[in-house]
Structure 1
Amino acid sequence: MSIFGRIKDIVRANINEIISKAEDPEKALNLYIEDAIEQLRQFKVEVSRFEAERIRIAKEIRTCESMISDWHEKAKLAIREEKEDLARKALEKEQHEQDRLEKLQPQLEQAEKTSAQLKEQLQSLEEKLEEAREKRDDLISRNRLAETQKSLANAVSGLSGDDPLSKFDRMEEKVKAKEAEAEAANVTLQSSLRYEFDELEKQEKKSKVDDALTKLRAELHSESRE
């Protein structure tokens, strides 16, 4: 996959896809970014090499132009000195440099055009890589949050079957049952005591009646003797 496609994939990455394809999404994302950084570094090297070649061609052109001017002046000097053969050789050298210049100029034009395009692509890639870093950080943050929420949900789910707080409710029910039993026992006790006191009162009334009856008999007996 080219660096363009790789960085584009990172920018468009989906958290669910990454999680499903990697045991450790955070590690996978970091490796993905590191890979893209390395490819971008290699791309920068190629851009630098191409720029160096453009500079070399430009330098050769300046050398050719200088040589053309130099050989032209030498040819003029030879003519002034009436040395036609020497002038001819100088002109041949000048023409040779002119031919080289004509070949180098299109190369420089193409190199400048390509260099400009590469620099533009490099800037675009650097921007995309920065965007990918931000996307990576967002995905890692979302993944960590999702893991935390999942762990919390699992913890809550685990407690639901044996919730310590639910034991309070069960104990409260037991206490209420005990209280009800105690209240019932107390009511029974009170009823028993009331029955016993009622019996005592009945015995007391009966005793009074018996005493009254005895007195009444005594009175009747006394009256009959008179």
Structure 2
Amino acid sequence: MSIMSRLKDIVRANLNDLISKAEDPEKSLNLFIEDASEHVREFSVEMNRFEAERIMVQDRIKQTEKATSEWHTKAALALTQSKEDLARKALENEQKEKSRLEELSTELVNMNQTSEQLKEQYRLLQDKLQEAKEKRDDLIRRARLAKAQQGATESLSGVSKADPFAKFDRMQDIVERREAEAKASYQAMTGTLSYEMDQLKRDGLTSEVDDALAKLKAEMDASKTTS
């Protein structure tokens, strides 16, 4: 898979599927970014290697241009010395250098175009990688939030199934029931005591009435005797 296609995969919408498919979305996203970053670095190395070759071609062109000029000078010098054979030989070498120069120049033109394309592609790769990192950060944030929300929901679900506060409600019912039982017992006890006290009062009143009646009878008997 090419570097561009890998990075396109990173920034496509279906990257969201990684959240649901991966056991650890954060780890998977980071590994994905590391993989893409490594491919961008490899691309940079290859681009720099190509740039070095292009610079070498430039240097060879300069050397060839210099050699062409030198052979031309040597041919002219040979003619001034009436050495036509040497002049011809120098001109042959000059033509060879010119041919080589033409080939190198054509090669350099193509390499310059390729160099610009590589640089542009590298800039696009860096932009894509940066975009992927930003999307990675956003997805990690969303994954953490979703995990927190899921944990909260599960916690609430657990509370609803086994409500710990229900124990307090049950204890309150028990305490209130025992309070009612104690109150009923107390009322029953105090009711019995009240009855007994009332009975004692009634017994005492009867005794007093009996004493008063006996006293009254005695007074009446005494009155009859006196008459």
TM-score, normalised to structure 2, is 0.88
Unaligned 5+ segments in structure 1 are none
Question: Map of 1:1-226 to 2, 5 A cutoff?
Answer: 1-12=1-12, 16-226=16-226
Deviations, residues 175-221 of structure 1 (Å, cap 9, x unaligned): 11111222222222222222222222211221111111111222222
Q: What one-letter code is carried by the residue in structure 1 that aligns with 2:56?
A: R
| Superposition deviation, residue 132 in structure 1 | 2.2
Report the CA distance shift for 1:220/1:188 in structure 2 as closer, same or farther (over 3 A).
same
**2:72/2:90 contact within 8 Å kept:** yes
CA distance in 2, matches of 1:100, 1:165: 93
Instruction: Judge which range, 126-135 or 42-51, deviates more.
Output: 126-135
Contact 1:71/1:90 (CA < 8 Å) preserved in 2?
yes
Residue 112 of structure 1 deviates from its aligned partner by: 1.0
Amino acid of the residue matched to residue 122 of structure 1?
Y
Go from structure 1 to structure 2 and tell me whether the alpha carbon gap of 1:80 and 1:16 turns closer, same or farther (over 3 Å shift).
closer
Q: Which one-letter code corresponds to 1:98 in the other structure? A: K
Q: Which amino acid in the other structure matches residue 162 of structure 1? A: A
Task: Name structure 2 gaps, 5 residues minimum.
Answer: none
CA distance in 2, matches of 1:225, 1:73: 194
94-103 vs 131-140, greater mean Cα deviation = 131-140
Q: TM-score, normalised by structure 1?
A: 0.89
What one-letter code is carried by the residue in structure 2 that aligns with 1:2? S
Aligned counterparts of 1:214 and 1:53: Cα–Cα separation in 2: 150
SS of the residue corresponding to residue 105 of structure 2 reads helix
**Alpha carbons 1:68, 1:97 under 8 Å: kept:** yes
Counterpart amino acid of 2:195? Y
RMSD of the TM alignment (CA)? 2.1
Structure 1 pair 166–16 and aligned structure 2 pair: CA distance change class (3 A): farther
Answer yes or no: is the 8 Å Cα contact 2:75–2:88 preserved in 1.
yes
Q: Percent identity?
A: 54
2:16–2:139: 8 Å Cα contact kept in structure 1? no
